[in-house]
Amino acid sequence: MVPVVEHVTNLGIAAHALFIPVFLGLGLPLLAAFNVFSVAAWIGARVANRRRLDGLATLLMFVEVVSHAALACRVLGWNSGFHYYLIPIVPFLMFHDRLPTRAVVAGSAVVTATYLLLRAATIDVVPTAISPAVLRALEYGNIAIPLGALGVISIYFRFASMEAERAMESLAMTDALTRLPNRRRMRELLEAERVRCARGGRSFGVVLADIDAFKQINDTRGHDGGDHVLVELAAVLRGVLRGQDAVARWGGEEFLFLLPDTDLHGAGVVAEKLRVAVDCAQIAFEGRRVPIAMTFGVAMCARGATVDDAIQRADRALYSGKHAGKNQVVLESGDAIPMSAVS
């Protein structure tokens, strides 16, 4: 269902239902009868929209608006203002992303041609059945209703555009596989924390982790198995972190952690908790458990240090842990966190 169609059809039903008694009171039974058809067409468009028949809903609205404008202008003249109903059709078609481009172009061309033809054919038509004051009142009403419809269309597509922009920003900051923040987003978080630290905040921990023997997992379980492990592992890591911490997929099988307001020992303890959680994780693929282990390198970023420097120190600690047997936590000082640290 297209929400904007739902709102516009409600407005169309109400407007044409109101026109029925108005035209009967003015002694214009043809227009009153046509508005019975109009109400039915708008109800049909709403039903079609709810059934996800977007093309049918749009066609019903399009035919009703164009034919109603043509008939009303032919009977009451250009100055009655019924041609104004053609104007909202063009932006509605243009912003309707479910319509094919050819249909949008063709519909807009038909509306433009109808508008010009009505101008030429009805500009001199002066109805004798109603007074100039009533005609003027009709014109004002016929300005207000299309502008209301145009406002509904504009507001909806403004919100839709803003939502799409937010979604695109989120995609640009999120790893497509694990749904963790990506490298770009983590860079922003790290820089924001560095600025806060420079203004008098406490130092923060930077932890770089790598899955041990991940190539073997890909070789034995296939890349689908490797991807599954990464997704499940991301959930495990998120579940261990504190509320103020952040984790990002740094690249491949590497993860980077930001631990605000944490000294080196505290960051090491958090990293050991992460290591234990990964070691104990019950991750399975195609019914078979996949044993996972990770090695962690821990560094601090204090006032005056750069983020890149802290990451490099964490990377060196990680490299040291890999060469010392893997599945362990190594601080930038070269010390390994004992496995009893979180017991």
All structural domains of the chain: 3-172 (no CATH), 183-331 (3.30.70.270)
Distance CA 313, CA 267 (A): 14
Angle at alpha carbon of residue 337, lines to 339 and 201, rounded to 5°: 130
User: Residue 97 — very low, low, confident or very high, per pLDDT cuts 50/70/90?
Assistant: confident
What are the DSSP E strand ranges found in the chain? 204-211, 246-251, 254-259, 284-285, 288-289, 294-301, 329-331
What is the b/e burial string over 246-265, where b = at least 16 CB atoms within 10 angstroms of the residue's CB?
A: bbbbbeebbbbbbbbbbebe
Residue 167: HSE in the Cβ half-sphere, 13 Å Cα cutoff:
6
| Higher-scoring residue by pLDDT: 329, 151 | 329
Distance CA 286, CA 284 (A): 7
The amino acid sitting at 17 is A
Q: Is the pLDDT of residue 22 over 70?
A: yes
Identify whether the C-beta of residue 71 lies closer than 8 Å to the C-beta of residue 34: yes
What are the phi and psi torsion angles at 181 (to 5°)?
-55, 145
- Residue 222 to residues 126, 219, 253: CA-CA distances in angstroms? 79, 6, 15
Q: 195-208: per-residue pLDDT in tens?
A: 999 888 789 999 99
What pTM, to 2 d.p., does this model score?
0.63
Beta-ladder partners of 247: 257
What are the DSSP E strand ranges found in 19-128? none
Q: 134-191: per-residue pLDDT in tens?
A: 999 999 999 999 998 888 888 888 888 888 888 787 778 899 899 999 999 999 999 9
Helix (H) or strand (E) run with residue 296 in it: strand 294-301
Q: 272-319: per-residue pLDDT in tens?
A: 999 999 999 999 999 899 999 999 999 999 988 899 999 999 999 999
- Catalytic residue set: 253
